[in-house]
Amino acid sequence: MSKGQQFEIPPKSNEPRNIEAVLEKGEIKSVKELEGYGDMQLVGIQGGGDALFRPNQETASVFENTGKEAMASELEEMAFKVDEALGFGLVPPVAARTVNGVEGYLQQFINDSQVAGLLEWRVIVKPEELAKAAVFDYLLDVRDRRGDSFLINPKIGKIWLTGHDYWMFWNENARSDILREAQVRGLNCLTPETRSALERFLPCIDSLTVEAKKEVATILKKAQERAQLILSEGQIPA
């Protein structure tokens, strides 16, 4: 990891109690530039392990050119908060953060899992995980979910969903591979767990929408309608 850069020093306060708080306020120990487009960095945080940092500015033009007000960090935070409201535990913790003067967001780095496309993920994945992830992708109308864009823990078949950016929501040509696989396997039916999750989620919509940019509010409003549809039909519609 590279050292000697000017990191932020957070104000002294009570110790962060959870990963999100660590991502938001924890002391940054190291920053490593990653090879590849987007100026992403791997950031070491005191007491919080490592996190991927994604600058907002790298995709700002895509949002601006299409008349959208939202930023990448707001979409990923929305995805995390929806997952949190559902209680699914699919989206790694996220926090908006400025690193070396650049605005963006930090997301916990998952080092016990691999990119699903590297594995026979359809064989490895736990059916319960697939069912939950399918509900999540349906609620948010996630598009660009492919084996290259989510993680799976090969030992326990657990899914991690990441990369909720512009193209995840507005790639009109794409459909979620997770949703498709769940439907093919008949895992689109409501289970007691997913029913409880949706019932937990619906009352949270208003609080999630407070001060949200219009695109985020639109996605959440659609998620509310879709949650109600799943509950009334007992399954994710075809």
| Interface with another protein (CB under 8 A) | 34-38, 40, 42, 50, 52, 54, 109, 111-112, 114-115, 117-119, 144, 147-149, 151, 162-163, 165, 167, 171-174
Distance of CA 213 to the CA centre of its chain: 17
We find the least distance from the C-beta atom of residue 86 to another protein, in angstroms, to be 22
We find the least distance from the C-beta atom of residue 232 to another protein, in angstroms, to be 33
We find the least distance from the C-beta atom of residue 204 to another protein, in angstroms, to be 27
Q: What is the DSSP letter of 126?
A: -
For another protein, give the closer residue by CB, 151 or 223. 151
For another protein, give the closer residue by CB, 41 or 224. 41
Place of tokens 């409003």: 221
For another protein, give the closer residue by CB, 154 or 229. 154
For another protein, give the closer residue by CB, 37 or 192. 37
**Considering all CA atoms of the chain, what is the largest pairwise distance in Å, rounded to the nearest integer?**
57
For another protein, give the closer residue by CB, 33 or 199. 33
We find the least distance from the C-beta atom of residue 7 to another protein, in angstroms, to be 18
Q: What is the DSSP letter of 92?
A: P
Contacts of 68 (CB under 8 A, 6+ apart): 166, 213, 215
Listed residue (140, 235, 138, 143) closest to 191, CA to CA: 235
We find the least distance from the C-beta atom of residue 238 to another protein, in angstroms, to be 22
Place of tokens 């600058």: 55
Cα–Cα dist 106/22, whole Å: 10
Tell me phi and psi for residue 171, to 5 degrees: -90, 95
